Structure 1
Amino acid sequence: MSIQTALYAALSGLRSTQLQAATVSHNISNATTPGFVRKELDITASFTGGHGDGVRVEGIARRVDEMLIRDARFEQSRYTAQEARASALSQYTDVLGQPQDERSVATAVAKLQQTFSQLHGQPEDEAAQQAVVDRANGLARSIRDTASAATTAQADAVERMKNSVEDVNKALVQISQLNQKISYQEAIKGDSTDLRDQRDRLLDSVSQEIGIRTYTREDGQVVVMTRNGQTLLDRELAPGAQPLQVNQTAAGFELTAGGKVISANPEQDIQSGRIMGYVQVATQDMPKVLKQLDTLAAGLVKGFQDAEADPTKPGLFVDGNPPTPASTDGLATRLQVNSVVQGNSWRVQSGMQAATPLPPGDQTQIKKYLAVFKTSTGFTAPDTPGTATLGDFAKAMVSTQQGYRTTAESDMKSRKISADVLESARINRDGVNIDTEMQKLQLIEQSYGASAQVIQVAGRMLDTLLQLRN
Structure 2
Amino acid sequence: MSIQTALNAALSGLRATQQQAALTSHNISNATTAGFVRKELALSTSVTAGHGSGVRVDGVARRVDELLIRDARFEQSRFTAQETRASALADYAAVLGQPQDERSVATAVAKLQQAFDRLHGMPDDGAAQAAVVDRAQALVRNLHGAAEAATAVRMDARNRLSASVDQVNRALVRISELNGTIATQQAKGADTSDLLDERDRLLDTVSEEIGIRTYTRDNGQVVVMTRNGETLLDRELAPGAQPLQLIGTDLVAGGTILSANPDRDIQSGRIMGYVQAATQDMPRALAQLDALAAGIVKRFQDAEDNPAAAGLFTDAGAALDPLATAGLAGRIAVNAAVQGNAWRVQSGVQAATPLPPGDQTQIKAFIGAFTATGPFSAPDMPGTATLGDYATTMVSTQQGYRTTAEADMKTRRISADALQSARLNRDGVNIDDEMQKLLLIEQSYGASAQVIQAAGRMIDTLLSIRG
* TM-score scaled by length of structure 1: 0.96
What is the rounded CA distance, in whole Å, between the counterparts of 1:199 and 1:441 in structure 2?
Answer: 28
Letter matched to residue 32 of structure 1? T
Which of these residues, 340, 344, 350, is aligned with residue 343 of structure 1?
Answer: 340
Q: How far 1:153 sits from its partner (Å)?
A: 0.9
Do the aligned partners of 2:317 and 2:336 also contact (CA within 8 Å) in 1? no
Does the residue aligned with 1:124 lie in a helix, a strand or coil?
coil
Structure 2 CA distance, aligned partners of 1:150 and 1:22? 56
Shift of 1:463: 2.0
Distance, in Å, in 2 between the alignment partners of 1:119 and 1:456 is 109
Please report the RMSD computed on the Cα atoms of aligned residues, expressed in angstroms: 1.4
- Cα deviation for residue 214 of structure 1 reads 0.9
Q: Cα deviation per residue 1:108-153 (whole Å; 9 max; x = unaligned)?
A: 1001000000000001112111111111111112112211111111
Q: 2:97 is matched with which residue?
A: 97
Q: 2:407 aligns to what SS in structure 1?
A: helix
Runs of 4+ in structure 1 off by over 6 angstroms are: 321-325
| Gapped regions of structure 2 (runs ≥ 5) | none
In the other structure, the counterpart of 1:205 is 205
Match of 2:75 in 1: 75
Q: How does 1:10-409 map to 2 (within 5 A)?
A: 10-248=10-248, 253-320=249-316, 326-409=323-406
CA distance in 2, matches of 1:288, 1:373: 24
- Aligned residue for 2:55, secondary structure, equals strand
Q: Deviations over 1:38-65 (max 9, x none)?
A: 0000001111121111111100010000
The answer to whether structure 1 residue 426 and structure 2 residue 423 are counterparts is yes
1:333 partner letter:
G
Distance 1:326 1:339, change over 3 A: farther
Could you list the runs of 5+ residues in structure 1 that have no partner in the other structure? none
Number of residues paired by the alignment? 466
Task: Give, in whole Å, the separation in 2 of the partners of 1:91 and 1:238.
Answer: 39
State the SS of the aligned residue for 2:247: strand
Contact 2:317 2:335 in 1 (8 A): no
Conserved 8 A contact 2:227-2:265? yes
| Distance across 2 between alignment mates of 1:413 and 1:221 | 35
One-letter code aligned to 2:134: D
Distance (Å, rounded) in 1 between the aligned partners of 2:284 and 2:321: 23
Give the distance between the partners of 2:350 and 2:241, measured in 1 at CA: 63
Deviation at 1:74, TM superposition (A): 0.8
Separation in 1, partners of 2:401, 2:159: 20
AA in 2 matched with 1:34: A
* Alignment partners' CA distance in 1, 2:6 and 2:331: 93
Amino acid across the alignment from 1:286? M
Q: Are 2:437 and 1:440 aligned?
A: yes
66-75 or 258-267, which moves further after superposition? 258-267
Tell me, what secondary structure is at the counterpart of 1:419?
Answer: helix
Once residues 247 and 202 of structure 1 are traced to their aligned partners in structure 2, the CA distance between those partners, rounded to angstroms, is 24
Which sits farther off after the overlay, 206-215 or 314-323? Answer: 314-323
